[in-house]
Structure 1
Amino acid sequence: MSTTELGPNNRSGDYDIMEPYWRMVSDIVAGAKAMRAAKSGADNPYLPKFPNESDADYAYRVANAKFTNIYRDIIETLAAKPFTKEVALAEDAPDDFKKIAEDIDGAGNHLHTFAGRSFFAGINNAVDWIMVDYVKMRPGTTLADERSMNARPYWVHVEAPRVLAVYSARIGAKEELVHVRIAETGKARDGYGETITNRVRVYNREPIVDTDGAVINYAPATFEVYEQKTSSASSGAKTSSWDLVDQGPISIGVIPMVPFIAGRRIEGTWQFVPPMQDAAYLQIEHFQQETNLKSIKEQACFPMLAGNGVAPVLEDGKAKAVPIGPKSVLYAPPNGEGEHGEWQFIEPNAESLKFLAADVEATEQQLRELGRQPLTAKTGNITVTTAAFAGDKANSVIQAWALNLKDALENAWALTAKWLGQSEGPTVVVDTDFDVGLSDEKDPDNLLKMRERGDLSGQTLGEEFKRRGILSVEWDYDEEVKRITEEIPGEPNEADGPPMEDAA
């Protein structure tokens, strides 16, 4: 089967709106090489060409652009906060789930590692996706065969730029996915080379309509996999088609995809307001400022030589280049009227360099402040609050993201449970206590004062300091009391002998 015109790789309108932002943050995270190599037509979209700037000068400026990646440092710092403690299943989780959590993606990665990657990508792209799949079995495979082949559900991390289209609908009281298209690129060894294959996976639930044509429900989910094929015509022209290479039902009946949302979803769409977009745009401005300062500093190292009242030496009708250096001699002969020319260097004003450097520093400070805001800003941006953590409160933006991650992971476990024929998935433990005390530098002093007044016990004080990272995570109150007791000088016993002054 092949498709014409709009193929399975067609992108939704929501995707087209989000894609420029995803491309920008992808370039930023990738670093200096990607930022310099980015193209929009013939120009770099992050370093616009100056008016009247020659192509050679512009190419040199872009190739040598300076890029300090503050944005990536911010995202990595924020994304690490919930992972100082292991993301794990609750103690009462069934052993089957705990075993899967040890190798959640079939590639040897623990649930903690998988969750960390999803959290980083979600903050960066505003949304991230988890696909819960099952090892495909041939028809007629028995349960014993499945066990011998270690057939089980596994998770696939799908970053937002790969999800070409998402459509959802209200089914009963719940919003559910009814159509998803995912770009999949495969790489296979071909002798001593390799072959790249472009595929698109399509999940779909056909609408069920009544006699009046109104949608009353949706059919169980199915999947199709299309592969791009290229063929050559007799004229030498190449044509491309998408051929159906696999298809079938999804036995659990639903599309096995779960979103982790860190941005603010625009109602009625699958578009998002990225949580870090201000920081991303400011990083671009910082990139431009740093590059401009570097260019001006380079020009200041090679000031322009001006010859006032000096006629240029012509060679083939063009002014001959003037030699500059310690072994060069420049002449300014008199003009016959007793006057002579002079040579002088024209250099940029040092004050302008100081101003530009201060401007770069101010932008960097502003960028880091934007990166700190998710740790301190209050929010209620929680997509779904389940009974498992109804008592939790999000005191900061990043805590809300951590709770959203917990919700997404538990939804993915619910799909995993469906694949295993179980009624419900386990509870996931995600640390949200990481920002305690960050918004108040006097917090430790206040705790000490409470201890002095007798409002806190020594054990509670130690535990609060442990929460704030002042004490090691290995700190133990009982062990500490024991050590303190051992340090208290005691009365000498008979085995120690008489005091030194008595012995004398």
Structure 2
Amino acid sequence: MTAINQQNETVKRMAEAWAVIDPLMGGTQAMRKAGKTLLPQQPREDDEDYEYRLKTSTLFPALGRTVGVMTGKPFAKELTLGEDVPQRIKDLSQDIDGEGRSLHAFSSDLMSEAVAFGFGGILVDYTRTEGQARTQADEKALGARPYWVHVKHHQLLGWKTGVVDGKPGLLQLRILETAEVDDGPYEVKVVNRVRVLTPGRWEIWQEDTGGWALLEQGTTTIKRIPFVPIYGIRKGFMWGTPPLLDLAHLNVKHWQQQSDQDDSARFARKRMLVFTGVNDGELASPSAGSAYALRFENPEAKAEVIQGSAESVTVGRSELDSLESQMVQTGAELLTAKPGQRTATEAANDAEANKSDLQRIVESFEDSLDQALQFTAEWLGLPQGGHVSLFKDFAAGSLSEATAQLILSFQQGGLITKRQALLEAQRIGVVSPNLDPEAEIAAVEAEGPSLGNMNGDGK
């Protein structure tokens, strides 16, 4: 029998990707916490050496930076509410979650969830009035209103589906939540809860020492479950995959090889003194330094310095550079225009037929926002919620063009140097192969700021 807090099979399948993406999005600290799951212990490496290597490993945040760049593109311009959005909902859009976030800011966070993890959702809830409100005036006096809740990927536990209004819909939904409760006069503790939603009803279950107990329950005026899924790449109803999963795996590989590279460089820098032909007792307590000299009785005795080969360090750096190039290209593919499913109407419109994956994600995202607006309207007793539009004119015509955009973003974000950015641009053919990166950077610095960057005093 499935426990109330147990993930269903679809979530477990999606969670295999999340186990890689969650630590990458969490940064270096989260990657270190993942330990041997993402940084395996090398053969014959003892625990002390492994712990040192783990604690000194640092993440090249390619996935997190790419998610940020891709998420920012559709929100480069303000989200637009259609003329068909009722004024009451437009008023709510300035504080859509009841916590001060506008619809634009709230949607930006949701888009990050879709691009990074491929799945999440919006719960359109309503302020509880505990039976105190009988009229709209009463609700207004109590501050009762619909509000949106960002349901993150890991909170979705399971569901039952069926036909709702002639389309696939939810008959039950379980959402993992946490709450702070009093724990003494000055402390609070966090408890786990599960919200169970069915059409027209809700229940809150709380975990305690004896298991899970029903805490609260009630009914709603909406006879549907007011939840809207969001997707990265939609595989089916309530099933999405991360669009940057291949980049995530490359980023993990970079994390592992960067750790090996740092370890290799550390030992390559160390020097070991080797003495041969030395009589017993001559080096009982050797000292080293510019003020010391060695004198041995045996004329055949000698001292040598052995140091690790720098060649392995050079090879390792080359492999890391290659990986970084692959990550830039893989991330850029989201912006590359690709032909999709073309209808007769679309065939006459190349701009419509050739879209990037990110544009398709944004279009699906707009549909989700429209559905959330409709649930908001139903809470308010309105016939329709209207539509929203996001900026979508950002697709690159080719992979080289998309890669160039991402290279620039990486350089501006401090992930790669100007020199490396020019080398990458040369590799994909955006700038001349005869260009000398060092000379070009020096010439740019000597030229001074561009005219558009000069302030009033000419600096």
TM-score (structure 1 length as normaliser): 0.72
Please list the CA deviations of residues 308-333 of structure 1 after superposition, one character each: whole Å capped at 9, or x if unmatched: 4557879xxxx988655445656665
CA offset at residue 66 of structure 1? 2.3
Q: Which ranges in structure 1 are unaligned for 5 or more consecutive residues?
A: 205-219, 231-239, 383-390, 442-504
Letter of the aligned partner of 1:255 in structure 2? I
- Per mean C-alpha deviation after superposition, the further-off stretch among 139-148 and 274-283 is 139-148
d(CA) in 1 for partners of 2:151, 2:232: 15
Paired residue for 1:413? Answer: 373
Paired residue for 2:272? Answer: 304
- Per mean C-alpha deviation after superposition, the further-off stretch among 432-441 and 83-92 is 432-441
Q: Which ranges in structure 2 are unaligned for 5 or more consecutive residues?
A: 343-350, 402-459
Please list the CA deviations of residues 54-76 of structure 1 after superposition, one character each: whole Å capped at 9, or x if unmatched: 11111100000122211111110
Contact persistence 2:94–2:103 (CA under 8 A): yes
d(CA) in 1 for partners of 2:250, 2:17: 13
Paired residue for 1:293? Answer: 261
Letter of the aligned partner of 2:272 in structure 1? M
Letter of the aligned partner of 1:262 in structure 2? G
Contact persistence 1:7–1:242 (CA under 8 A): no
- Per mean C-alpha deviation after superposition, the further-off stretch among 66-75 and 17-26 is 17-26
| Structure 1 residues 290 and 330, CA gap change in structure 2 (3 angstroms) | farther
CA offset at residue 105 of structure 1? 0.3
CA offset at residue 33 of structure 1? 1.1
Which protein shows a greater Rg? 1
d(CA) in 1 for partners of 2:263, 2:285: 23
Give the secondary structure class of the aligned counterpart of 1:293: helix
Q: Does 1:96 align with 2:88?
A: yes
Please list the CA deviations of residues 229-262 of structure 1 after superposition, one character each: whole Å capped at 9, or x if unmatched: 12xxxxxxxxx32111111223211111101111
Paired residue for 2:159? Answer: 166
Give the secondary structure class of the aligned counterpart of 1:202: strand
RMSD: 2.7
Matches within 5 A, 1:26-45: 26-39=22-35, 44-45=36-37
Letter of the aligned partner of 1:366 in structure 2? Q
Paired residue for 2:444? Answer: none
d(CA) in 2 for partners of 1:313, 1:221: 90
How many residues end up aligned between the 2 structures? 391
d(CA) in 2 for partners of 1:19, 1:381: 29
Which of 125, 149, 152 pairs up with 2:145? 152
d(CA) in 1 for partners of 2:130, 2:290: 82
Please list the CA deviations of residues 344-380 of structure 1 after superposition, one character each: whole Å capped at 9, or x if unmatched: 2222222222111111111001101111110014154
| Structure 1 residues 258 and 270, CA gap change in structure 2 (3 angstroms) | closer
| Structure 1 residues 107 and 310, CA gap change in structure 2 (3 angstroms) | same
Letter of the aligned partner of 1:398 in structure 2? L
Letter of the aligned partner of 1:79 in structure 2? T
d(CA) in 1 for partners of 2:286, 2:334: 57
- Per mean C-alpha deviation after superposition, the further-off stretch among 138-147 and 293-302 is 138-147
d(CA) in 1 for partners of 2:295, 2:14: 63
Contact persistence 1:66–1:294 (CA under 8 A): no
Matches within 5 A, 1:88-487: 88-139=80-131, 141-143=133-135, 144-171=137-164, 173-188=166-181, 190=183, 191-204=185-198, 220-230=199-209, 240-265=210-235, 267=236, 270-310=238-278, 323-326=287-290, 333-334=297-298, 340-378=300-338, 380=340, 395-435=355-395
CA offset at residue 289 of structure 1? 1.5
d(CA) in 2 for partners of 1:59, 1:320: 33
Higher helix share: 2
d(CA) in 2 for partners of 1:61, 1:341: 37
Please list the CA deviations of residues 160-193 of structure 1 after superposition, one character each: whole Å capped at 9, or x if unmatched: 1111113322346300012211111113565433
TM-score (structure 2 length as normaliser): 0.78
| Structure 1 residues 245 and 135, CA gap change in structure 2 (3 angstroms) | same
d(CA) in 2 for partners of 1:188, 1:379: 53
How many percent of aligned residue pairs carry the same amino acid? 31
Give the secondary structure class of the aligned counterpart of 1:405: helix
| Structure 1 residues 297 and 169, CA gap change in structure 2 (3 angstroms) | same
| Structure 1 residues 130 and 71, CA gap change in structure 2 (3 angstroms) | same
Give the secondary structure class of the aligned counterpart of 2:73: helix
d(CA) in 2 for partners of 1:332, 1:270: 79
Contact persistence 1:88–1:428 (CA under 8 A): yes
Paired residue for 2:457? Answer: none
CA offset at residue 17 of structure 1? 2.2
